[in-house]
Chain A
Amino acid sequence: MSGPSQWRRRQQRLSLTGEICPQCSARLFPPRDVCPHCGGPARIPYALGGRGTVYSFSRIMSAPEGYEAGAPYYVALVALDEGPLVTAQLTDVDPEAVSIGMPVEMVTRLMKRDGDRGLIDYSFKFRPVLERMAG
């Protein structure tokens, strides 16, 4: 992804800002101009809380070009408490403990480096909800 693309989506990448539909109150992430639930226009920003549970997960052994350094790594579909599913990497996980239904929370993490002098790319990942913060 290019610098402008990352900048354009900074609210999504760094604070998980989606939308709420004014017609049907569906919470949407990522934002889109038409609500997929009711077909009405959806343009009201809505910051999602960043808490959810693992809906599904995979451990990537063969990474795409540019992501090899982190391999193997876990990716997941996270069901956010507000409803939407979001695709993200899992971080700070015990490989033995990853499971469907596991409570997770959004954190900002390094995603990718573009060589020694290029942009450093940060975005959201999810980690297990810490014990002291649980409940």
Chain B
Amino acid sequence: MRDVAVLGIGQTPVAEHWDSSLRDLAYRALQAALDDARVPVPQMLFVGNMLSGALASQENVGALIADYAGLRGMEAFKIEAACASGAAAARMAWMAVAGGLCDIAVALGVEKMTDGKAEQATAALAYAADAEYEGEHGLSFVALNALMMQRYMHEYGYRHSDFAGFAINSHANATTNPNAMFPSAITAEQFERARPVAAPITLLDSSGIGDGAAAAVFVPLDLATRSPHPVVRVLASASATDTVALHDRRDPLFLEAAHVSAQRAYAMSGTTAEDMDFFELHDAFTIMSALSLEASGYAPRGHGVGMAIDGEITRQGRLPICTLGGLKARGHPVGATGVYQIVEAVQQLRGEAGPNQLAGARLGMAQNIGGSGANVITHILERRN
């Protein structure tokens, strides 16, 4: 297996892009990443996307984007793993380069969610759940997370307001990210007054859906040493699954797939949770942040929320998370999110995160969660020089 580096990154702002289609957004991010990498023509393209069929009546987006980008003929597929589609595409690109199948592979995450009615997007997002035994009963994707949050609060004795720190941190970090969808700070009072979507989850527990695309160019490490950027090596890429339905889990409050994929990533890279300088986690909902921290070894069970209460997750804290706004405030263009996380981790490791730069960041982790915890992909990235 070859060592792999991320040579180039690109992204569009996450927004309601009424003037751009799926292919426009994809092309912009792809071209930005290729320009950044200073390579003209990639050999393989893996497109992370969840909802192009449901919301844009478009499948076959691998070929569509390759053609639209003037790369007709190249190998290109769509990779789907619900909300983890982006990281799944990154993992495919990593595998292709690590395995020696090609020298330049691009992971491109793209989602176009705001063309239709909000109810359509809500229904389509529920496709990440078990259609026959969750979706059919009128469960929205938010509701599944609400079931976890309600039980978590019950078992560990937290109030809803205890989760505020996650949303406040993500919004604070988004204020200085030009690509963020919600670059506005929020207060604990606003968090408490927010409108319920699926109680106990409110609008301010929830990431905002939006349109966006992000891309990362993967190459062998020895090819990256000629790059003008600090070299960012992929130390680990790991993935694991769990039951799709929440009701089938051994323990609905433990993200077993997150645990397994994180442990595999630590083992592969010879690192531990304590070594990480930051963690781009999957804050689709505040409860997911807590569960991801616990499953990945940053907090004991029932103590993930404590890290938010104690301010450990801010850019000044022990483990900064969602350093450019996270899903909550950068926005959550579902199938693109996993690539945004990797792009942002590369920004931090290169020292290109602007006002959000963490001093001396050398090691970072990104974790993308599909469904209510069914498919979890963890990457660990390291700055080389």
Contact = CB atoms under 8 A, between A and B. Distances in A.
Interface stretch (B36-44, B126-134, B177-185): B126-134
A100 interface: yes
Nearest to B141: A64
Contacts of A49: none
Given A58-B200, A87-B139, A64 B123 contact: yes
A57 B143 CA distance: 9
A113 to B, nearest CB: 13
B199 A65 contact: no
Contacts of B135: 64
Contacts of A89: 137-138
Interface string B255-286: 00000000000000000000000000000000
A61 interface: yes
B142 to A, nearest CB: 7
Given A61-B198, A64-B126, A84 B247 contact: yes
Contact of B138 (A30, A36, A63, A86): A63
B351 interface: no
A70 B137 CA distance: 11
A55 interface: yes
B309 to A, nearest CB: 22
Interface in B146-169: 146-148, 150-151, 154
Nearest to B203: A62
- Which size class do B's interface residues fall under? 35 or more
Interface in A28-82: 30, 36, 55-68, 70, 73, 75-77
A38 to B, nearest CB: 13
B201 interface: yes
A119 interface: no
B60 interface: no
B140 interface: yes
Instruction: Report the 7 A-B pairs with minimum CB-CB distance, sorted nearest first.
Output: A58-B146, A56-B151, A64-B123, A85-B247, A65-B123, A67-B138, A65-B119
Interface of B: 117-120, 122-123, 126, 130-140, 142-143, 146-148, 150-151, 154, 195-201, 243, 245-248, 252
22 contacts: A1-B131, A56-B147, A56-B252, A58-B143, A58-B199, A60-B138, A62-B118, A62-B140, A62-B142, A64-B126, A64-B135, A65-B120, A65-B123, A67-B138, A70-B138, A75-B143, A77-B252, A85-B246, A86-B247, A87-B137, A88-B137, A123-B137
